[in-house]
Structure 1
């Protein structure tokens, strides 16, 4: 008789969790190939004492309750991700010019339990991915938001390479919400070798590495989730900016390089195929400004 109240509490609390780009995978002919790559300073969920704030980076900072807008004091990358650094056993991705890459993340209820976060945009908000061959340590969010698809925006050090809805149309958290239950049936994601098993389906942002990026170089990608609260929402009468970012580096090589890194890791999504429309996804909102 205590199951329903407990379930309601769990559903509400998980929807309040936040999200980061957790892994990167190359896509070939619709399937993930090679070994996963990981963001700078990656912290695995399997380490003892893991908690979300080890990877969550929110702007404006949640402790700064006086601000509702981002400004030029907001560094784009978390302190642990402002320089190129990889955690041991979690290497950066290897890809090539023109390759398609899936940047994967958990939806944490933002897709399947939208009723828990009123005032948020359709599609769970927008993921913008910016790429540069000239990253700087103290990159500012407001500067990068000015980069454009043709590379002529802002300081011209980089460009906008993807704008897609947070909801990829397939992903789901395992919960009792109608959206999750429907997607569990439509898009089953069993663990390999365990037919009938149920596993959370991760979301993905799909990007193409620009064809003009040099081989034997490093290309930096900034995953920026724009998830504002609309004006008039309780607690945000004037509206409120809310961004989450993850910063990653990709080794640009002439082709796919295999390694001994498991793909996927045990705690990660067993899905082997990208969403069907990975090459031509669009967003409700395509301009970050």
Structure 2
């Protein structure tokens, strides 16, 4: 199983939520927010600074265990880094979560190891985030709508995003109608998923979002997560 994973997963960079914005009346409002423990893209940046892969690539057999923590160790607590603050938003604002496709959309037709499928993103919200939260535990609680709630399930491929890599799919998407590019995106258009904050939270609360990318392949499990929080304001 490990050989299969390395064969089919080594060609592309992987993805995580890099920015979050509050959306109100269809417009981005306020400054962006970032994941916990964010590392900005400087010359010394490495994908491994932010990527959290479950199960770990070296694990044999390739299975997710009940004790696997949902957040990367650098994201287990609300440890926001300089220049990468927590997002602030109002009750029932929409939140746009932005991530790069890194070839998992525009080059997915060549990825037979994943059945040429970009996978699925699930966003779960909770008021009760703990450093000990496990992937299986959070999914179980969300399925029962107890301490966590599923806010969105959608394709990783949002239908619009692309990396400007010259592939036919990228060129097709570049020529299509698209939202306004943000400066941070450069020539690319990042993928995004929108979720709405629930009505039961209140100003002063901190609401946690777990972004889960299910990218299982042929004969192996492959998941990625990003953990971030929303400071609820009036």
TM-score (norm 2): 0.89
Aligned length: 225
Q: 1:254-273 CA deviation, whole Å, 9 max, x = no partner? A: 1xxxxxxxxxxxxxxxxxxx
Match of 1:102, SS state, is strand
Q: Name stretches of at least 5 consecutive residues in structure 1 with no aligned partner.
A: 1-11, 193-197, 231-238, 255-289
Match of 1:115, SS state, is helix
Match of 1:148, SS state, is helix
Aligned CA-pair RMSD: 2.2
Q: Name stretches of at least 5 consecutive residues in structure 2 with no aligned partner.
A: 1-7
Alignment of 1:1-289 (within 5 A): 16-45=12-41, 47-64=42-59, 66-120=60-114, 124-148=118-142, 152-153=144-145, 156-187=146-177, 199-230=187-218, 239-254=219-234
Superposed displacement of residue 214, structure 1: 1.9
1:215–1:241 CA distance, 2 compared to 1 (3 A): same
Preserved contact between residue 127 and residue 226 of structure 1 (Cα < 8 Å): yes
Superposed displacement of residue 121, structure 1: 5.6
1:186 and 1:169 mapped to 2: Cα distance?
Answer: 11
Superposed displacement of residue 147, structure 1: 3.1
Preserved contact between residue 108 and residue 116 of structure 2 (Cα < 8 Å): no
Superposed displacement of residue 178, structure 1: 1.0
Question: Computing the radius of gyration over CA atoms, which structure comes out larger, 1 or 2?
Answer: 1
1:209–1:84 CA distance, 2 compared to 1 (3 A): same
Higher share in strand: 2
Preserved contact between residue 108 and residue 173 of structure 1 (Cα < 8 Å): yes
1:36 and 1:129 mapped to 2: Cα distance?
Answer: 18
2:204 and 2:93 mapped to 1: Cα distance?
Answer: 14
